[in-house]
Amino acid sequence: MKTFRMMTLAFAAVALISAPVMAGEWVSLFNGKNLDGWIQKNGTATYSVEDGTIVGVTSDGSPNSFLCTKKEYGDFELEFEVKVHNSLNSGVQIRSQTKETDKKDTFGRVNGPQVEIEASGNNGAEAGYIYGEATGRGWLTPQDQLVPHKKMKDGEWNKFRVVANGPHIQTWINGEMVADLTDEAIYETHPKGFIGLQVHGIKKGDGPFDVAWRNIRIKTID
């Protein structure tokens, strides 16, 4: 009996050690009706709610614009659907922050990791790879891994999945993995922050172009 009890305790200890990391419940970041819980930082692009989607439209001559969650997140799993104009580059910021600049920005410059959104076009593109928005580093995804692909369906809704757990960031588009990045440096400077929907800046005379998001949800990783 004593031996059996010791074996039972040993198995319980192993099970406890090997138990998966528990995650929180899925939480919708967009209620489909209004932009409660969000705030715009940088740029003059417009964001509105149309037919249960968030629609961002470029503004002539505006720099990058970001619609950001008021809440910050550290380790999480994020899912969203996006449809972008073929001529517009976009992205979703994760664990992002603002920093003061010499310009009169109300919030400061948005900076941090960005999941790229870009139409595939004829030759493929870098959708799903990780860029360092205003970090001074450019692409966080290594250059030898920036292989153009056509996982984005141009002119259609595309489902993105992002898992950020410590310095490890992974992305999927329409169920296919795109990025598998471990970056200790960016995690040290950006361990948590807001989620931001980017409308990329355009030159005067271009556009207007639009990008839309829907079914945006997140669950934290404990």
pLDDT greater than 80 at residue 96: yes
Q: Where in the chain does DSSP place strands (E)?
A: 27-28, 38-41, 46-50, 53-57, 65-69, 76-84, 90-99, 109-117, 130-133, 138-139, 158-165, 168-173, 176-182, 194-199, 210-220
- pLDDT at residue number 22: 58
CB atoms within 10 A of CB 217: 14
Non-local CB neighbours of 162 within 8 Å, separated by 6+ positions: 77, 78, 79, 92, 94, 115, 169, 170, 171, 172
Phi then psi for residue 218, to 5 deg, are: -145, 150
User: Tens digit of pLDDT for each residue in 107-156?
Assistant: 899 999 999 999 999 999 999 999 999 999 999 999 999 999 999 999 99
Report the DSSP beta bridge partners of residue 65.
199
Whether the Cβ atoms of residue 171 and residue 177 lie closer than 8 Å to each other: yes
**Identity at 72, one-letter amino acid code:** E
CB atoms within 10 A of CB 61: 13
Predicted structure pTM score: 0.88
**Identity at 179, one-letter amino acid code:** A
Identify the band that residue 205 occupies on the pLDDT scale cut at 50, 70 and 90: confident
